[in-house]
Structure 1
Amino acid sequence: MAPPAYSPAKKDPALKLGLAIRGRYDLRFNDRSKAGRNRTSNHLSFDTAIVTADYDSAVLFGSAQYRFYGGSFIYGKESGYKNYPGEISFPLYGYLGAKINKTSQVTFGLAPVPFDDRWWGASFLNSIGFVYGLEEVYNLGAVLGHKTDKWSFDLGFFPTTAPNAMGRSADSARYSVNMTGHGTVLPNGSDNDERYMTVGRARYQISSGMKTNLAVTGSFWLSTIHNYSTRRNGQRRAFALSLRYKTGPWRFKLMGVRQDMDLRNPGSNDIVTVGDYDSVYNIASRATIGFIEGARTIDTGKFPVKLDLFVNYANVWKDSSHHAPNTQRLSLGAFWTDKATNRFRVWSEFYLGRNDPNVGAGQFTNGAGQGGDDKYKSSFLVIFGYYFQ
């Protein structure tokens, strides 16, 4: 006898709109002046405006977010920007989905790529995984998800990457780190495009409960990489395994990732050019990433704010034939939000990096690829904002 047709529980459709405004304070201990002298710099500036929309009903659901950048020291006039908020803007994500039954759903659009957790850790800048285009990636395609008591499975197919939006760059005005078709502006830059991405994730809940939770997750990423200069196709293969543990106020994560790109560049195949936030840089095409994090929620008693503390560390071992030095990052951070409304939010983090494109002057272009100056750099970042919804 055939099973009864799925009849979802009645649920009134709900549409929620949101807006957030954020500012930032940067203290960069290893910055460089226009004359090339080493210095410590500090900047207080606008960060971003965020518009969101979320929809949910008994069968259909959807979510979208758009961000506006510019008007900060990062997008200064010396770099060719007019320096006003909204000069750079792009969608973060935008997708629609359907609930097939109580355990399965399908999503279409600019959707999260199911490679391990969307956010590997608690850091505001995301982890080194974001630098290498593996963490919090949103691409155009479809994702099928299925969940049981112990298991969850997600399988996605993405024909192409996130689109280039509003900015000065030729192909990098986007949030996600994707390969760029106009990377030849960099020394040793490549001219690639990623296509036909098949990404899967399986998670097993070893134990679950209100106080203790232990889960193991395995992921894979397979795709085609087209080089515009040689008109030949290569491949990308990435695999990850992680263990996540929560007990009481404590959270821990241990993760290992292997990424191999078989490129068809006309020159070196050791690096590939990627882009996000309207800028481009090089990363190693073959590398192994190790990541570990510990975090704790602090009981603040009658103090009117909630507090989370965390520390994480990542190391990237590169396979470059030129023996490129490792990329490393240590992050120490705190997240604050008010208990009454959860609308005031503050992220504060200290970074210690080595060949990290986001920490220290002179590291951005090739730190994650062939390496920067192989010295430790540090910076401090505070992001503060008000979320209207």
Structure 2
Amino acid sequence: MMSQRFLVKPFSFCALVASTLTMSATVQADTLSWGDADTDLGKLTVSGWLRANYQDKDYSDSDHKLKFNAAKLSLKYDAKSLFGDVEYRCYQNDTLCDFSTLVNANLGYKLNDDSRITMGLQDMPFGIGRFWSSSWYGSSMDNAGLEDVHNLGINWQQQLGTNTKVNVAYFVRDGGSFAGTGDDAARYAANYVKPEDASTDDIEEKNMWVARINQQIPLQDSPVKLNVGGSYWYSDLENNRNGQTGHRNAWNVFGRLNYQNANLTLTAGQNRADTQAVENPDYATVGSFESKYHVANKANYYVANLDYQMTDFYKDYDLTPYVSYTVFDKEKSGFATSTRNILGAQLDVKQFSLAAEYITGKNDVFIGGDAGSLAQGDAAGHSRLLNLLFMYNF
């Protein structure tokens, strides 16, 4: 049935990552592919990374050590008519791969050179792209369930001329939960989940319609590239406590300005969720990465991101500094605004990467906050996190 939970075995994934890493030690990262995309048989490409991290928090003393953090395995298939994508990740909280999750699993068909359709578990075409910021930690819109959301559905993409791209998609349900200790919060993308408190309404999102248009603005004889667009999201919100059905209405407008190696991305939008709740109409329970927390049903949000890519910064080293700023401004009187600021840089050489991020958050569920941070707010004030990431890419 469509509502059945996905189950996976972490050990098999770790073994697959280990075998892939062994193979990649003898070949270059860009040679982990087989076949030809211009044929009916197609081309299969394997990629991913292994990641360790070190964190220093002003709100905790438990993370002052370097440890394995996560692994990603990506399989991409491309042929004359068909294409597909599978992305799988495993994370370590206490033990190796104690939380593992499927991110994408889809298959697509190329209707023609300008049109294609994708079916399965995939990221929703909401916002400027899958990611709205350059940070590995992500903006707080990840946690609010608006950015980098992966659900089960069908997505039609059409290129209109040279400068316009349109998406129209229907998602029947959320992406499901996977292997971990967090019950139905054992998932990569933030979705509505069953609350721990029986007095809080259990919301299930279905029948999600999403549309997006992305327009490139031609600027003749100018080194500046400009893209603007907007997206809209409408869905049914089933309240399993009282049998009523509410709706989500969310939208955003966005733009990307590129000048040489500098990229500026701006996103502004609004989320309005009517959950038909009686006792808690102003927030609902959302879950991701084995955590459950409350998110305000009505809010405006803003995300700004700036990065600068310096190729061959020193010999074979590439350096990309970046900064991002997120605001989640709730409509309910008395609900405190949530913010997240990230200052970071990534250094790349061959198959290795190092990223350093200094993050400050206020009323932020994953930066010193609690389950009410993205709803009522919390009493923690500004919290700070230093996040160091060490990656091997294959």
TM-score strictly above 0.5: yes
User: What secondary structure sits across from 1:100 in the alignment?
Assistant: strand
Residues 48, 267 of structure 1: alpha-carbon distance in 2 compared, 3 angstrom cutoff: same
Which amino acid counterpart does residue 117 of structure 2 have in structure 1? V
Asked if 1 retains the 8 angstrom alpha-carbon contact of 2:212 and 2:231, the reply is yes
Select 1:66's aligned residue among 88, 108, 113: 88
User: 1:333 Cα deviation (Å)?
Assistant: 0.8
User: What secondary structure sits across from 1:124 in the alignment?
Assistant: coil
Residue 130 of structure 1 corresponds to which residue in structure 2?
A: 142
Say yes or no: does 1:379 pair with 2:385: yes
Aligned length: 355
Root mean square deviation, CA, Å: 2.0
Asked if 2 retains the 8 angstrom alpha-carbon contact of 1:184 and 1:190, the reply is no
- For 1:254 and 1:301, the matched residues in 2 are separated by 26
Which amino acid counterpart does residue 171 of structure 1 have in structure 2? D
Q: Deviations over 1:236-278 (max 9, x none)?
A: 1100001110001111112211000011224111111111112
Select 2:119's aligned residue among 93, 105, 108: 108
Q: Deviations over 1:120-164 (max 9, x none)?
A: 110111112212111111100000001131100001100000111
Residue 42 of structure 1 corresponds to which residue in structure 2?
A: 64
Which amino acid counterpart does residue 135 of structure 2 have in structure 1? S
- For 1:13 and 1:300, the matched residues in 2 are separated by 33
Asked if 2 retains the 8 angstrom alpha-carbon contact of 1:189 and 1:282, the reply is no
Asked if 1 retains the 8 angstrom alpha-carbon contact of 2:355 and 2:388, the reply is yes
Asked if 2 retains the 8 angstrom alpha-carbon contact of 1:30 and 1:40, the reply is no
Residue 50 of structure 2 corresponds to which residue in structure 1?
A: 21
Which amino acid counterpart does residue 150 of structure 2 have in structure 1? Y
Residues 303, 90 of structure 1: alpha-carbon distance in 2 compared, 3 angstrom cutoff: same
Give 1:261-280 correspondences, 5 Å limit: 261-280=273-292
- For 1:18 and 1:312, the matched residues in 2 are separated by 27
Residue 142 of structure 1 corresponds to which residue in structure 2?
A: 154
Select 1:170's aligned residue among 183, 191, 213: 183
Structure 2: any 5+ residue segments left out of the alignment? 1-36
- For 2:348 and 2:311, the matched residues in 1 are separated by 13
User: 1:208 Cα deviation (Å)?
Assistant: 6.4
- For 1:215 and 1:302, the matched residues in 2 are separated by 31
Asked if 2 retains the 8 angstrom alpha-carbon contact of 1:52 and 1:63, the reply is yes
Asked if 2 retains the 8 angstrom alpha-carbon contact of 1:226 and 1:233, the reply is yes
% identical equivalent positions? 26
Q: Deviations over 1:199-245 (max 9, x none)?
A: 11001101368943101010000001111111111111100001110
Residues 211, 169 of structure 1: alpha-carbon distance in 2 compared, 3 angstrom cutoff: same
Say yes or no: does 1:365 pair with 2:387: no
Asked if 1 retains the 8 angstrom alpha-carbon contact of 2:42 and 2:78, the reply is yes
User: 1:30 Cα deviation (Å)?
Assistant: 2.2
Asked if 1 retains the 8 angstrom alpha-carbon contact of 2:122 and 2:152, the reply is yes
Say yes or no: does 1:98 pair with 2:109: yes
Residue 168 of structure 2 corresponds to which residue in structure 1?
A: 155
Structure 1: any 5+ residue segments left out of the alignment? 1-7, 32-38, 76-82
Asked if 1 retains the 8 angstrom alpha-carbon contact of 2:132 and 2:305, the reply is no
Select 2:320's aligned residue among 308, 331, 350: 308
- For 1:221 and 1:204, the matched residues in 2 are separated by 19
Select 1:184's aligned residue among 183, 196, 201: 196
- For 1:91 and 1:118, the matched residues in 2 are separated by 16
- For 1:126 and 1:257, the matched residues in 2 are separated by 17
Residues 253, 19 of structure 1: alpha-carbon distance in 2 compared, 3 angstrom cutoff: closer
Residue 36 of structure 1 corresponds to which residue in structure 2?
A: none
User: 1:301 Cα deviation (Å)?
Assistant: 4.1
Q: Deviations over 1:322-367 (max 9, x none)?
A: x1110011110111211xx3x212221111111011112xx13111
Residues 318, 301 of structure 1: alpha-carbon distance in 2 compared, 3 angstrom cutoff: closer
Asked if 1 retains the 8 angstrom alpha-carbon contact of 2:103 and 2:122, the reply is no
Which amino acid counterpart does residue 354 of structure 1 have in structure 2? K
Asked if 2 retains the 8 angstrom alpha-carbon contact of 1:25 and 1:43, the reply is yes
